[in-house]
Amino acid sequence: MNSAANSSARRATKTKQAVLWTLLTVYGLLTLYPLFWLFLSSFKSTQDFFNRPFGLPEAWKFENFSNAWESSNIGQAFGNSLITTLGALAITLFISLLAAFILARFRFRFKGAILAFFVVGMLVPIHSTLVPLFIMMKEISMLNTYWALIFPYTAFALPTAIFVLTAYLATIPKDLEEAAFMDGSGLWGIFFRIMIPISLPALSTVVILSFLHSWNDFSFALVLITSTGLKTLPLAIANFADGYQTDYGLTLAAMTIAVIPTIVMYMIFQEQVMKGMTAGAVKG
């Protein structure tokens, strides 16, 4: 009697589990679909794209990729995007973790004010800063250099990065640092030897977010870079799409090329997120 009820309950949970995982898988497929769609569409001709937006290509146009790469200097733009994005990423990671370390671990006056000061940065609609930024960049002669993008990318990534990192560090016990301090490690030593490894999961999150943010930026790149040689990918891709003569196959092929680094980035750092603190703790 009892065992029968038990087994039927177990069967019920099993069915529930199956339904749950099926639903999740369907959701996963739905979220993955756009990537698949982009990939398929990038082999189509414009007419094919319009006639059957969700179908397989009528004829696979592999040349879309080579044409996209050659026209509009996608190769050069790709390099420019990598330089500005990775430059901004490196600076962001270092200085935001440093600031978060201090904000999460030290007690001092104006701490609340400084945190609030950074939070405002998460609320700013970027379009309103375009004109002031342009004038500033002109005054300090930074227009048309990589720095004209690296600094704004860094500055706009900082608030979220500091916010996420500070909140993360606040949840981590201080045992390790205190032990290290007792052993005579200095503050910089603690920062490099303990804080960096310990924050890896949150840092990975910041990497993914900052990378996406700079890699896909259109507005800053449109306004702050006016020389063709420094164009970034989103601008180069926008050049394919001009009003009536948009070649959709070509545009989408360029977009497919552009999306690859973000996927690679995600795959690498997602693993770091998953390894979690345990890995960091072992090292420390």
**Which residues 246-265 are close enough to bind another protein by CB under 8 A?**
246-247, 252, 255, 258-259, 262-263
Task: Indicate whether 16 belongs to the interface with another protein (CB under 8 A).
Answer: no
Task: Indicate whether 277 belongs to the interface with another protein (CB under 8 A).
Answer: yes
- Per-residue exposure over 215-232, b if at least 16 CB sit within 10 Å of its own CB, e if not: bbbeebbebbbeeeebbb
Task: Indicate whether 86 belongs to the interface with another protein (CB under 8 A).
Answer: no
Let me know: does 165 contact 135? Beta carbons within 8 Å: no
Size of the site for another protein (CB under 8 A): 122
Task: Indicate whether 168 belongs to the interface with another protein (CB under 8 A).
Answer: yes
Q: Minimum CB separation from another protein for residue 32, in Å?
A: 4
CA–CA separation, 44 and 246 (whole Å): 13
- Per-residue exposure over 143-173, b if at least 16 CB sit within 10 Å of its own CB, e if not: beebbbbbbbbbebbbbbbbbbbbebbeebe
Which member of 43, 44, 64, 159 binds another protein (CB under 8 A)? 159
Q: Which two tokens stand for residue 33?
A: 């679909």
Instruction: Provide the mask over 37-76, with x wherever binding to another protein is found by CB under 8 A and - wherever it is not.
Output: xx-------xx--xx-xx-----------------x----
Let me know: does 42 contact 255? Beta carbons within 8 Å: yes
Selected range binding another protein among 3-11, 58-66, 74-82, 139-147, rule: CB under 8 A: 139-147
Task: Indicate whether 226 belongs to the interface with another protein (CB under 8 A).
Answer: yes
Task: Indicate whether 19 belongs to the interface with another protein (CB under 8 A).
Answer: no
Which member of 3, 127, 182, 184 binds another protein (CB under 8 A)? 127
CA–CA separation, 117 and 215 (whole Å): 26
| Environment class of 56 (CB within 10 Å of its CB; exposed 0-12, middle 13-18, buried 19+) | exposed
Task: Indicate whether 24 belongs to the interface with another protein (CB under 8 A).
Answer: yes
Is 1 or 139 the residue whose CB approaches another protein more closely?
Answer: 139
Which member of 68, 74, 133, 194 binds another protein (CB under 8 A)? 133
Q: Which two tokens stand for residue 245?
A: 């003569």
